[in-house]
Amino acid sequence: MNNKFMKINSCLAVLALLLGLTACSEDPAADRIFINGDILTIDANNTVAQALATEGERIVAVGSRQEIEALAGPDTEIVDLQGKALLPGFIAAHEHPAISAVFRNFVDLSGFSHDSAASAWQALREAVATAPAGQWVYAMGLDPVLLQDLQMPDRNQLDALAPHNPVFILAQSMHSAWVNSAALAAMGIDENTPDPGEGSYYGRDADGRLNGALVEKQALEPFLEPHKNPLKVVPAYEQTLDDLRRAGYTSVASLGFNMPAWLARWASLDGLQPRMRQFYFYRGDNLKKLQGAPENDSDFFRVLGAKFWYDGSPYSGTMLVDEPYRDGALARQLGIAHGSHGEPVIAPQQLQQQLKTLHDRGWQTATHIQGDRAARDFLALLQQVHKALPETEQRAFTTRRHRLEHGLLLDKRLLPDMAKLGITPSFHINHLYYYGDALREQLLGRERTDKILPLRSAFELGMHPTLHADSPMFPAEPFSLMQTAITRLSRNGTPIGRDEAISPIQALRAMTINGAWQLGMEERLGSLEAGKLTDLVIVSRNPLATPAQQWRSIRVERSILAGD
């Protein structure tokens, strides 16, 4: 270490102790200073500061306005926040930007774009009418929960709607779809075709005839293969990343279907898009991509590990649960069989072996877990992986930060044992907002629904929980996620599991420093502290001074990534 570097560090340390700043006279003047607003640092003490100074892509000081303005030089830009708030850039812990890019070219039938089933079906009819004969028509977003007057289609109805075109309609949950006869024929699927297995199957009517329903990944994938050419979706991918950044996300974890690493790496640098962290779906060609050790060379792009599915969706009947789904009109609409408990989409022994393989190589894992039985199985599998390690490696197991994704029916009684293994959950919190009433009154019942998404319990155990939108399933709107986590109110205003509500500052931590921790970036991102990277968002008002019921109205006005 050279003398100049040691001298600067000594100066930094002294001033940090005396003034609470990390800056000194030998540093160059700050290139930008933020004043006249609340600086929510989300540091260990949740400090609210008066001003912040940056130099290039680094924060150089946080403190009082008087202290920070002393760092200004003749060329320093003074940013007047005008009473707005400055926060760390939000971290999207679990999204699907590549899938969102593909779906930009699909016909949108979702309840986010239509207020009635008639409107959605009209959009599909118009798309079919303008498509040349024989051309595929792809649509997404069909959902009888968000569009309550919707009747799910069958093969015959889609044949009548599109007699000359193959049609594929993906559910909002992305775990099931509906197709017509032309689509089935194009894929070579008929009544004699066996189900693809791993919890995936082709729907059939009472006579055993294919009814056009496709359930879970293995059944869906062949129909989506034409959209996997990454070069065809680059413009849409860049638009998706632009949208995420405008929403305030400066870092994004992409789980499952991803752009190729070389292309995602390029996109992450082109125009300073959000920092990208990928988890590959661990099957097929992706098995070869995680042979070596993890990379750590870039702040903008890294592959962190593997994504697994153990069970499916609450809305396709494939969530693995102890008690069966409730029978009723909505369950029948969704194609959930009477008495269904769901089932694993991968054999437990196979998942255990793959988790062990990735852990041994040094990779992080993220496993899709929705049901209570799935969560219990997952814990037991990781306990076996841990137990099989040498004692010295057992002690280091927690440092890998293996993740549990979604956690709808995660039993909070499992959390202490999960915490001992360092398992960290990311919660799909807006299940509660958009689907809470349907879960409570129709699919699960009130008792089970009041236990969903045990976020507060995870905070109390120090598990660094995060929130995510799982876009494109739900809009990637950070203040919507946080409002739901604080209020625990459904879209209809029904309180659900209020004992698991978290505080406003915990909600902010779930979208910032906890996300950085889950991605191994907490020393560089997630809070506004001297030495960390300049990933910031300016929002229209201080959320800590805003009633929780109004957080969805808070606007992200500017997103700053690496100082730009």
Where residue 144 sits, what CATH number does that domain have?
A: 3.10.310.70
Structural domain includes residue 341: yes
- What is the biggest distance separating any 2 CA atoms in the chain, rounded to whole angstroms? 83
Confidence class for position 564, pLDDT limits 50, 70, 90: confident
Q: What is the pLDDT of residue 271?
A: 59
pLDDT tens profile 494-537 = 999 999 999 999 999 999 999 999 999 999 999 999 999 999 99
Instruction: Give me the mean pLDDT over the 340-353 stretch.
Output: 94
Instruction: Give me the mean pLDDT over the 540-560 stretch.
Output: 98
Closest CA to 458 of 513, 401, 410, 517: 410
Looking at the fold, whether 292 and 354 belong to one and the same domain comes out as yes
Boundary residue ending a domain (171, 200, 227): 227
Kind and range of the H or E element at 380? Answer: helix 372-387
Q: Which residue has the tokens 């059939």?
A: 204
Q: What is the CATH number of the domain that holds 421?
A: 3.20.20.140
Instruction: Mean pLDDT check: name the lowest of 56-65, 187-196, 199-208, 517-526.
Output: 199-208
Q: What is the pLDDT of residue 293?
A: 76
Q: Please report, rounded to a whole number, the percentage of residues in the chain having pLDDT higher than 70.
A: 94
The residue with greater pLDDT, 261 or 167, is 167
Contacts of 441 (CB under 8 A, 6+ apart): none
User: How many structural domains is the chain composed of?
Assistant: 3
Confidence class for position 272, pLDDT limits 50, 70, 90: low
- How many whole angstroms from its chain centre is CA 528? 23
Structural domain includes residue 540: no
Q: What is the pLDDT of residue 333?
A: 87
Q: What is the pLDDT of residue 283?
A: 74
Rounded CA-CA distance 417/459 in Å is 14
Closest CA to 280 of 392, 338, 366, 161: 366
Looking at the fold, whether 58 and 105 belong to one and the same domain comes out as no
Q: What is the CATH number of the domain that holds 69?
A: 2.30.40.10
Mean pLDDT value across the chain: 91
| DSSP assignment of 301-344 | EEEEEEEEESS--TTTT-S--SSPPPPSHHHHHTTPPTT-----
Structural domain includes residue 556: no
pLDDT exceeds cutoff 80 at 16:
no
Looking at the fold, whether 296 and 179 belong to one and the same domain comes out as no
Looking at the fold, whether 41 and 109 belong to one and the same domain comes out as no
Structural domain includes residue 156: yes
Can you tell me whether residue 204 is helix, strand or coil?
strand
Instruction: Give me the mean pLDDT over the 447-467 stretch.
Output: 99
Confidence class for position 173, pLDDT limits 50, 70, 90: confident
Looking at the fold, whether 248 and 379 belong to one and the same domain comes out as yes
pLDDT exceeds cutoff 70 at 234:
yes
Looking at the fold, whether 254 and 175 belong to one and the same domain comes out as no
Do you find a cis peptide bond into 472, omega within 30 degrees of 0? yes
CB half-sphere exposure, 561, CA atoms < 13 A? 25
pLDDT exceeds cutoff 70 at 95:
yes
> How would you class 361 by CB atoms within 10 Å of its CB: exposed for 0-12, middle for 13-18, buried for 19 or more?
middle
Q: What is the pLDDT of residue 204?
A: 93
DSSP character for 440? I
Token pair of 498, please?
């209020």
> How would you class 220 by CB atoms within 10 Å of its CB: exposed for 0-12, middle for 13-18, buried for 19 or more?
buried
Instruction: Mean pLDDT check: name the lowest of 78-92, 135-149, 276-290.
Output: 276-290
pLDDT exceeds cutoff 90 at 470:
yes
Q: What is the pLDDT of residue 20?
A: 43
**Cross-sheet strand order for the sheet of 51-55:** 58-63, 51-55, 30-35, 72-80
Contacts of 365 (CB under 8 A, 6+ apart): 279, 305, 306, 307, 308, 355, 358, 359, 400, 402, 403
Q: Please report, rounded to a whole number, the percentage of residues in the chain having pLDDT higher than 90.
A: 78
Q: What is the pLDDT of residue 263?
A: 79
Looking at the fold, whether 425 and 303 belong to one and the same domain comes out as yes
Domain range enclosing 176? 96-227
Phi, psi of 263 (to 5 degrees): -75, -40
- Pairing status of strand 48-49 against strand 72-80: unpaired
pLDDT tens profile 21-44 = 444 445 568 999 999 999 999 999
Boundary residue ending a domain (83, 116, 138): 83
Instruction: Mean pLDDT check: name the lowest of 171-175, 196-200, 486-490, 501-505.
Output: 196-200
Confidence class for position 217, pLDDT limits 50, 70, 90: confident
Rounded CA-CA distance 89/247 in Å is 10
Q: Which residue has the tokens 């003074």?
A: 78
Looking at the fold, whether 130 and 199 belong to one and the same domain comes out as yes
- How many whole angstroms from its chain centre is CA 145? 21
Rounded CA-CA distance 534/415 in Å is 34
Give the CA radius of gyration of the chain.
25
Q: What is the pLDDT of residue 28?
A: 64
Contacts of 489 (CB under 8 A, 6+ apart): 433, 495, 496, 549
Q: What is the pLDDT of residue 1?
A: 39
Q: What is the pLDDT of residue 216?
A: 87
Q: What is the pLDDT of residue 471?
A: 95
pLDDT tens profile 398-455 = 999 999 999 999 999 999 999 999 999 999 999 999 999 999 999 999 999 999 999 9
